């Protein structure tokens, strides 16, 4: 009997369809809303038998069994190092135009491990890869393609699948995020951080040598603190730059507004729009108000540059920690592909666009 994901956790179906139907790009944390399910099928043969409606050919199902069993050790290792809780495979089905015959395209693709389906699918699609196109006369069939998930239960792998309707919704949501470069960058940074912290935490508990455990724990704390500091600095820098830009816009409008609004009212408006403007100043003329706002704009620009310099230092510090973590993790046998991605150096922060106010 087929056990579909929506039977395992009804909330999953509602969440994934709601996310896929949303036309507005959502913050990356939407990934946390994709509920982690518990696998219930205890061997790959039963799993493939449950998917016979989408893979009707016995040879294709056997191909799937061979592929998944052949990657079991890798999947277990990835789950352990990334913090799991499960690994995923993508099964792409192609259907012939004329006959309607469906068959497996290539082999089930191993996507890696992670905490949520969206996280894993996004990571796999964001990484460059060569995917086989459909055979001549065939088309990829989204109504029969699906995902397989593997989870370690009591030391052994158990399996389940994301049925085609949900699989297509999950794929669509991933493609929506991939089209949003800013959102994708946010996802990438968050994903790399989570994997790195999990790898170092795992090593700090399971390494054979106390010195390696201590080094992993120290690097984990350093990386976590630096990531936090960078997030705070980026937010404060963005706020200062935004305030400077808002001041510039207000300053440029003073000459126009002064013809219809008196200086007292313009000053009151400046205090409302620029909350931390010096309230001790009491300008009595248009020139005085312009100077007050201009000085505020210069101050905010300077604070932006200060934060940028601090951000550059923290980024350099973090990159040094990432390099040390890479050496430690790879020396301890962590999966190279996961480790190299999690410890890849951050790019230097881009220079903020600052337009100095005219004299």
Q: What is the DSSP string of 159-225?
A: EEEE-HHHHHHHHHHHHHHHT-HHHHHHHHHHHHHHHHHHHHHHHHHH-SSHHHHHHHHHHHHHHHH
Average pLDDT over residues 16-35: 34
Contact yes or no for 118/174 (Cβ under 8 A):
yes
Strand arrangement, sheet containing 146-153: 109-114, 86-91, 146-153, 156-162
Question: How much of the chain exceeds pLDDT 90, in percent?
Answer: 40
Distance between CA atoms of 239 and 236, rounded to whole angstroms? 5
Contact yes or no for 291/283 (Cβ under 8 A):
yes
State the pLDDT confidence band at 358, using cuts at 50, 70 and 90: low
Contact yes or no for 283/342 (Cβ under 8 A):
no
Residue ranges covered by each domain of the chain: 5-179, 205-342
pLDDT of the residue at 128: 62
| 34 vs 117: which has the higher pLDDT | 117
Most confidently predicted of 10-19, 26-35, 45-54, 183-192:
45-54
List the structure tokens of 100: 């309607």
295-347 confidence digits (pLDDT tens):
999 999 999 999 999 999 999 999 999 999 999 999 999 999 889 989 999 99
DSSP classification of residue 31? G
Q: Which long-range contacts (CB under 8 A, 24 or more apart) does 175-180 make?
A: 175/125, 176/20, 176/25, 177/25, 177/28, 177/118, 177/122, 178/122, 178/125, 178/126, 180/25
Most confidently predicted of 34-43, 45-54, 293-302:
293-302
Distance between CA atoms of 317 and 308, rounded to whole angstroms? 14
Contact yes or no for 113/123 (Cβ under 8 A):
no
Average pLDDT over residues 154-160: 85
Largest CA distance in the chain: 87
In the chain, what are the helix, strand and coil shares in percent, each to the nearest 5? 60, 10, 30
Report which secondary-structure segment, H or E, holds 271. helix 263-273
Contact yes or no for 53/2 (Cβ under 8 A):
yes
Name residues whose C-beta falls within 8 Å of residue 86's C-beta, 6 or more positions apart in sequence.
36, 39, 79, 113, 114, 149, 150, 151
Distance between CA atoms of 1 and 315, rounded to whole angstroms? 53
Contact yes or no for 86/117 (Cβ under 8 A):
no
Distance between CA atoms of 244 and 238, rounded to whole angstroms? 10
Nearest of 335, 333, 342 to residue 71 by alpha carbon: 335
Distance between CA atoms of 235 and 244, rounded to whole angstroms? 14
Report which secondary-structure segment, H or E, holds 74. helix 72-82
DSSP classification of residue 278? -
DSSP classification of residue 284? -
Point out the least confidently predicted range of 13-17, 66-70, 152-156: 13-17
Preceding omega of 85 cis (within 30 degrees of 0): yes
């Amino acid at each position: 009997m087929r056990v579909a994901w929506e039977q395992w956790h009804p909330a999953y179906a509602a969440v994934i369809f709601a996310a896929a139907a949303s036309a507005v790009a959502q913050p990356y944390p939407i990934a946390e809303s994709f509920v982690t399910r518990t696998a219930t099928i205890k061997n790959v043969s039963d799993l493939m038998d449950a998917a016979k409606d989408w893979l009707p050919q016995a040879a294709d199902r056997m191909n799937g069994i061979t592929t998944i069993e052949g990657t079991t050790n890798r999947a277990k290792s990835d789950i352990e190092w990334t913090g799991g809780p499960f690994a995923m495979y993508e099964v792409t089905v192609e259907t012939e135009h004329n006959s309607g015959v469906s068959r497996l395209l290539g082999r089930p693709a191993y996507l890696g491990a992670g905490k949520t389906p969206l996280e894993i699918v996004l990571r796999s699609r964001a990484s460059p890869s060569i995917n086989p196109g459909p055979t001549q006369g065939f088309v990829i069939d989204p109504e029969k393609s699906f995902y397989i998930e593997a989870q370690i239960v009591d030391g052994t792998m158990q399996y389940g699948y994301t049925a085609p309707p949900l699989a297509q919704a999950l794929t669509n949501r991933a493609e929506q995020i991939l089209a949003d470069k800013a959102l994708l960058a946010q996802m990438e940074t968050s994903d790399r951080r989570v994997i790195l912290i999990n790898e170092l935490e795992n090593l700090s508990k399971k390494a054979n040598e106390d010195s390696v455990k201590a080094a992993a724990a120290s690097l984990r704390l350093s990386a976590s603190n630096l990531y936090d500091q960078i997030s705070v600095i980026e937010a404060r820098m963005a706020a200062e730059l935004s305030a400077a830009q808002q001041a510039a816009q207000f300053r440029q409008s003073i000459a126009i507004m002064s013809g219809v609004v008196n200086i007292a009212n313009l000053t009151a408006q400046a205090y409302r729009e620029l909350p931390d403007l010096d309230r001790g100043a009491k300008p009595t003329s248009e020139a005085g108000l312009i100077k007050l706002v201009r000085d505020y704009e210069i101050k905010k620009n300077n604070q932006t540059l200060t934060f940028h310099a601090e951000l550059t230092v923290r980024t350099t510090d973090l990159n040094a920690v990432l390099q040390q973590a890479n050496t430690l993790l790879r020396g301890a046998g962590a999966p190279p592909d996961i480790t190299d991605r999690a410890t890849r150096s951050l790019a230097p922060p881009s220079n903020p666009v600052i337009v100095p106010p005219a004299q």
